[in-house]
Amino acid sequence: MHAQSKPVLIADVIASTTRARQSADKNISGIQTVTNQLRVLALNALMEASRAGTQGRGFAVVAQEVKKISNEVESFAKALSHDLGGEISSLDLLTRRMANEANGRRMVDLALNAIELLDRNLYERTCDVRWWATDSAIVQAAKLKTAEATDYASRRLGVILKAYTVYLDIWLCDLDGTIIANGRPDRYRIAGKSAAHQAWFARGRELPDGDAYAVGEVAVEPVLGGAEVATYVASVREDGDSNGKPLGIIAIHFDWRPQAQAIVRGVRLTDEERHRSRVLLVDAGGRVLAASDGIGALSERIPLSLDGRRAGIEFDANRRLFAFHHTPGYETYKGLGWYGVIVQESEGVS
């Protein structure tokens, strides 16, 4: 059996180039030291030949030749140092640029991986909300709005929440925005309150049929204990029919922070990369929605003009790398125009 060869890494090439530079510098320095010693010996020989007079003339000729050769060797050493040093410097620069480019491409791929995972997760949310909007208990509560019907709907929503722990609560609203049932009434006493002012409710009211859905911006929801939520809504229709008469709106509040943190912290960086990198999920305007270091969510904006670009790599004035990738969507879910972004501090590579 043949032993499997170890893959050559760009870092290995950089290290080899550095060692070559050090070896060349060391040996050229050695040559210069020897030529200096020869020059000193030649000078001493010339002085002794001068003292010897006529008998020292032959020795003086040899000493002159030694001096001449030492000067030529020193000239060659300087030329070698200049040429070899320049080539090694060029090779070192090109290799480091290759390392930068390869690393940048890898970071873009990791940014894509993060946003793809999010897309798949949120696609499931669109399926959940449209499915539960057709549940008979939900449809009846929206239609009748009696205490008996809404109590049963709350119990039904509670059963759903026990199985789907990614949600903080599920709200059933009438067409005026009044919350008539929720899945965790013991924790969130919100029945009778209005959600009419919520942007997601307005979007839900405009849905054309039961197959459509709407999404609210990731936001802090005071009623849910100040949690960060992504709210998905669907239209509750008569008889659960997609084209039936609108009866109400169902809203599912996705527990955003822990789910998003699991994604950004799960990106496969090396320990060294993780120490100097931030993995982010950002919206189309560059607002940070989640960060692997837990800082800046919903308040920070990255200094990067995305403008709907699909993917790319940029550097700021501090040589920080910004690798980004636009949401590709998943199945019928087109995504929300968000990006996966990785911000990485420089290693001193130019």
Cβ atoms of 336 and 328 within 8 Å: the answer is no
pLDDT value at position 6?
A: 45
E strand spans, 99-189: 167-174, 179-182
- Domain-by-domain residue ranges, the chain? 10-100, 133-259
pLDDT at 321 over 60: yes
pLDDT at 3 over 50: no
The pLDDT of 223-242, averaged and rounded, is: 97
The pLDDT of 10-20, averaged and rounded, is: 63
pLDDT value at position 78?
A: 73
pLDDT value at position 61?
A: 65
The whole model's pTM is what? Answer: 0.76
Q: Please count the other Cβ atoms lying within 10 Å of the Cβ belonging to residue 50.
A: 13
Is residue 203 very low, low, confident or very high in pLDDT (cuts 50, 70, 90)? very high
How far is 5 from 2, CA to CA, in rounded Å?
Answer: 9
Q: What's the gap between Cα 299 and its chain centre? A: 18
Q: Does 133-259 match 10-100 at the fold level? A: no
What topology does CATH give the domain 10-100? Helix Hairpins (1.10.287)
Is residue 252 very low, low, confident or very high in pLDDT (cuts 50, 70, 90)? very high
How far is 152 from 175, CA to CA, in rounded Å?
Answer: 19
pLDDT in tens, 149-178: 999 999 999 999 999 999 999 999 999 999
Q: Please count the other Cβ atoms lying within 10 Å of the Cβ belonging to residue 78.
A: 13
Residues paired with 221 in a beta bridge: 227
Is residue 101 very low, low, confident or very high in pLDDT (cuts 50, 70, 90)? confident
pLDDT value at position 4?
A: 42
The pLDDT of 4-30, averaged and rounded, is: 60
Domain 133-259 has CATH 3.30.450.20: yes
pLDDT at 217 over 50: yes
Residues paired with 315 in a beta bridge: 321
Residue position matching structure tokens 């636009």 = 326
Cβ atoms of 346 and 319 within 8 Å: the answer is yes
How far is 208 from 86, CA to CA, in rounded Å?
Answer: 69
Q: In one letter, which amino acid is 114?
A: A
